[in-house]
Structure formats: C-alpha cells, structure tokens
Structure 1
Amino acid sequence: MFYELVATLFAGFAMAGVVMLLNHATRGRLPKWAMPVGAGLAMIAATIANEYAWYDRTVDAMPEGLSVIMKHENRAIYRPWSYAVPFVDRFVAVDDLTERTHPEHPNLRIVETLFMGRWAAPEKLIVLVDCATMKRAQLMDEVSFGDGGSVDGVSWIASDQDDPLIAHVCATGAGS
C-alpha cells in the first residue's frame, strides 16, 4: 500500500513537471489550472492502473503449488470504467501441496485454502472435501479424527460439481 501511494504521488509530480515544460515551451499560454488538473488526472490514472494490476502481481508472486480456483470481479458506481472492464479485488487459492488423505478413506481430502483480498490480510482456512458425496466442511476445533481416519464433529456443506473448491480438489487430488 505504501508503494502504491508513493507511485501515485510520483505520477502527480511527474505530470506537473510535464505541464510545466509544456507551459514553458508554449511561452506561458497554458491556463493556470492545467498543472493541478494534469497532476490530478495522472494520480487517478495511476490509482486505476494499480487496482487493475493487483491481481496479476499477487498471482505472479504466489509460491509454486497454489492454484486460483475463484476470483471476484468488482464493479462500482463510483468507478464507471469498471462496468466496461471489471477488476479482480479478491480471490481464493488452494494450496495443492498441503493436500492430505488417509489410506482407508481416499475420497476424504484435507487442503488449505487462502482467501486473498485487495486491502485485506490473507486468511487461511483448512477444508475437508468428500469427493464421493461432493461435500465439504471447514475443519474447526470441534473436529476429531479416529484411528481409522474417520472424522467426527464435522458440519458438512452439500454441494455439486459446480463448486470450484470441490471440483479442483477432486480433479487434481491424490486419490484421482
């Protein structure tokens, strides 16, 4: 966030300098409001460019083994350009390297998911996926595991194959 602020301020100062040079080249013919308007427009353009570049920068910086399974595109009335080209402001990724199964229950898979937001700290959630019944559940403190790999105290969420988490885990899992 700090670097984006610095980049935005730098864009404003740079455009103010360009307008000053143009004013000098035209021997003072530009109106006095040209410099602040030019600087303001450059700062707005830099802010918009940072918002559109956030998703690609974040995904490129992710370590090996993380797969983006869902992304949210933002449109807002105070950003009219986002109706033409929406930008991604949050997404969900699965850490494929953390997938675990039990030999006696190959259809049950545990994976870590990351919830990433534009202005939010990443949140990690451990999820249990049952590929046989197309259900998933968050693993919380109340969950217990038996010796044979059975799971107790789970609140299952029924879903179908359209659920991106279940589709990804069951398609790429160790039991497939």
Structure 2
Amino acid sequence: MLLEFIAIIAAGFGLAGLVLALNFLVRKRLPGWAVPAAAGGGMLAMAVWLEYSWLDRVTATFPDEVEVASTNELRVWYRPWTFVVPQTSRLIAIDHRFDRHNAAMPDQVLTQVLLMGRWEPARQFGAVFDCAGGRRADLVDEVVFDEDGAPRNARWIALAEDDSLLRAACSR
C-alpha cells in the first residue's frame, strides 16, 4: 500500500514536471492551473491504473498450477469509471499443486482454495470436492478422515453443476 502511494505521488510529480517543462518551452503561455491540474490528473490516472491492473499483476505471480476459478467485479458510485468498465476486486483460485486423489473415492479431490482480495490479506483453506455429487466440504477442525479416506463430520455444501469453483477443482 505504501509503495502504491509513493507511485501515485511520483506520477503526479512526473506529469506536473512534464507540463512545467512544456510551459518553459512555450515561453510560459500555458494557464497557471495547468501544472496543478497535470499533477492531479497524473495521480488519478496512476490510481486508476493500479486498481485495474491488480488482477493481472497478482495472477502473473501465480505458478502454472494455480487456476483462477472466479473473480468479483465491482461498481461503486465514488469511482464513476467503474460503471463503464467494472473493476475486479477479488478472486478465488484452486491450487492444483495440492490436489490429492483417493483410489477408493475416484470422484473426490482434496485441494487448496485461495481467496484473494484487493487490500485484503490472502487466505487459503483445504476443501474436498465431490465431482460426481456436485458438492464441497471445507476442511475445518472437526473434519477427520476414515481409514478409507472418506471425510467424517464434514458439512457438505451443494454446488450448481456450472459452479466455476467445482469445475476448476475437478478439471484435472
């Protein structure tokens, strides 16, 4: 957050410096408000770019085995440009590096789910997906596994057939 704040301030100074140099080249013919307006415009443009590039910058750091299942688009009144192009503020991903399959239950996969949001700490949790049954059980403290690998005390959540998280978990 601090680095983004510094980048926004630097963009304002940079664009104001360019307009100041242009004003010098045209022998001070630009209006007096041009330099402060350029500073404000540069800061606003950098802030908007940082918000819109968040998803691409975050997913570029993911290993190949991490698959983004869904994203959340945001439209808010105090950012009127989001009504034209919605901003992505959160994502849910499956980390296939942690996929585990049980021969006794071939339709189930145990994997890690990643939750990331703009200005929020990243979270992850384990989950068992029943690909044939279209359901998910989050691995919380009371969930234990039988000798055959079946989760006991699991609270299963029914998912729609076209659920993006279910499709991503069962895709491999």
State TM-score, norm by structure 1.
Answer: 0.92
Q: Quick one: distance in 1 between partners of 2:169 and 2:109? A: 8
Amino acid corresponding to residue 135 of structure 2 in structure 1: K
Aligned to 2:5: 5
Aligned to 2:31: 31
Q: Quick one: distance in 2 between partners of 1:108 and 1:28? A: 71
Q: Quick one: distance in 1 between partners of 2:87 and 2:150? A: 42
Pairs within 5 Å for 1:76-95: 76-95=76-95
Q: Structure 2: 5+ residue runs without aligned partners?
A: none
**Is 1:50 aligned to 2:68, yes or no?**
no
Amino acid corresponding to residue 15 of structure 1 in structure 2: L
Q: Quick one: distance in 2 between partners of 1:14 and 1:132? A: 57
* Deviation string, structure 1 residues 113-138 (Cα, Å, up to 9, x no partner): 10111111110011111112111111
Aligned to 2:16: 16
Aligned to 2:143: 143
Over aligned residues, Cα RMSD in angstroms?
A: 1.3
Q: Following superposition, which runs of at least 4 residues in structure 1 exceed 4 angstroms of deviation?
A: none
Please give the secondary structure, in 1, of the residue aligned with 2:96: strand
* Deviation string, structure 1 residues 84-113 (Cα, Å, up to 9, x no partner): 111211101100121112221111211101
Q: Quick one: distance in 2 between partners of 1:76 and 1:153? A: 41
Aligned to 2:60: 60
**Is 1:111 aligned to 2:111, yes or no?**
yes
Q: Which moved more, 1:21-30 or 1:63-72?
A: 21-30
Q: Structure 1: 5+ residue runs without aligned partners?
A: none
Q: Quick one: distance in 1 between partners of 2:116 and 2:77? A: 23
- Report deviation, 1:6: 1.9
* Deviation string, structure 1 residues 21-75 (Cα, Å, up to 9, x no partner): 1222232232222211110111000110111111111111112210000011111
Q: Quick one: distance in 2 between partners of 1:171 and 1:46? A: 37
Q: Quick one: distance in 1 between partners of 2:14 and 2:127? A: 48
Q: Quick one: distance in 2 between partners of 1:105 and 1:122? A: 30
State TM-score, norm by structure 2.
Answer: 0.94
Please give the secondary structure, in 2, of the residue aligned with 1:82: helix
Q: Quick one: distance in 2 between partners of 1:44 and 1:130? A: 46
Q: Quick one: distance in 2 between partners of 1:15 and 1:170? A: 49
